[in-house]
Structure 1
Amino acid sequence: MMLTEEESRHTRATLNELQVEHRDLNLVIEHLVSTPLPEQDQLLIHRLKKRKLLLKDKIYHLESLLVPDIEA
């Protein structure tokens, strides 16, 4: 499937936003994991990791849209 120029620009912008959020979440998780936390914060870490994984899946999907199909 070929994207129009406008769709491609929008996809790249969304991809960039998701990558930034993924990177930020990674930093927050690393910080939280490195400091002693009450039990309730473990739930927060779990939720953040789940969000990070969801972002990774969305990033992969958008990247696959931007790579043109290669015919064999």
Structure 2
Amino acid sequence: MQTAPRLSSLQDRHAALEMRLEAETVRPQPDSLELSRLKREKLKLKEEMERLRAAPAGSA
């Protein structure tokens, strides 16, 4: 799998999660379990993006 398209996809998903987190946060009674789940998923995506950026070209 090529790194650039994968990284772009992860960035899009990360941005979408950020929007969902913001939407949940501004609700009158945010769901703390949903916030935690979204934050964990966002962190996993961030770690994957960092791993791809750190990998030498062609090895990802």
Instruction: List alignment gaps of at least 5 residues for structure 1.
Output: 1-6, 68-72
Moved over 3 A (4+): none
- For the pair shown, the structure with the greater C-alpha radius of gyration is 1
The two structures have a TM-score, normalised by structure 1, of 0.71
Q: Map 1:30-69 to 2 at 5 A.
A: 30-37=22-29, 41-66=31-56
Instruction: List alignment gaps of at least 5 residues for structure 2.
Output: none
Q: Distance in 2 between matches of 1:34 and 1:59?
A: 27
* Count of residues paired in the alignment: 57
Q: What is the RMSD of the two structures over their aligned residues, measured on CA atoms?
A: 1.6
Q: Distance in 1 between matches of 2:42 and 2:56?
A: 21
Which secondary structure state, in structure 1, belongs to the residue aligned with residue 55 of structure 2? helix
The two structures have a TM-score, normalised by structure 2, of 0.83
Identical-pair percentage? 33
